[in-house]
């Protein structure tokens, strides 16, 4: 028996209880590919399907949080890379300066 998922943003999603759902490319104009798997055990539970529909409705918010988090990680990695670079430059400069003083 086919049922409709109670999603506000995706009102036409249908599923069968006890059958797994594989969603992909729900937003074809979106820059990020979207893949979502719902197992058989979840489709058998109406409360769980309602929670899945809520997650789908909050998808844009979740994607934006993930983007911000990845951006933060990139910023931290970039700062660490710069600090390693600065340590290398200072070490090289001090080593060069030491050699120059020995030559004098």
C-beta of residue 15 within 8 angstroms of C-beta of residue 43: yes
Lowest mean pLDDT among 4-13, 26-35, 40-49: 26-35
The model's pLDDT over 34-86, given as tens digits with 9 standing for 90+, comes to 677 888 898 899 999 999 898 888 877 877 888 888 888 777 767 667 777 77
Instruction: Tell me the pTM.
Output: 0.56
For 42-55, how does the pLDDT look when each residue is reduced to its tens digit (9 = 90+)?
A: 889 999 999 989 88
Phi, psi of 18 (to 5 degrees): 85, 0
> Which single residue is written with the structure tokens 């086919």?
2
pLDDT at 100: 59
Give the whole-angstrom CA distance, residue 101 versus residue 95: 10
């Amino acid at each position: 028996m086919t049922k409709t998922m109670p999603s506000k943003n995706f009102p036409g999603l249908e599923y069968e209880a006890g059958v797994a759902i594989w969603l992909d490319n729900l937003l074809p104009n979106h820059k990020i590919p979207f893949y979502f798997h719902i197992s058989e055990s979840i489709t058998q539970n109406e409360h769980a399907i309602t929670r899945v529909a809520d997650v789908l409705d909050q998808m844009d918010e979740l994607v934006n949080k993930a983007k911000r988090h990845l951006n933060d990680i990139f910023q931290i990695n970039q700062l660490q890379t710069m600090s390693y670079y600065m340590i290398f430059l200072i070490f090289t400069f001090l080593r060069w300066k030491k050699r120059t003083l020995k030559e004098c």
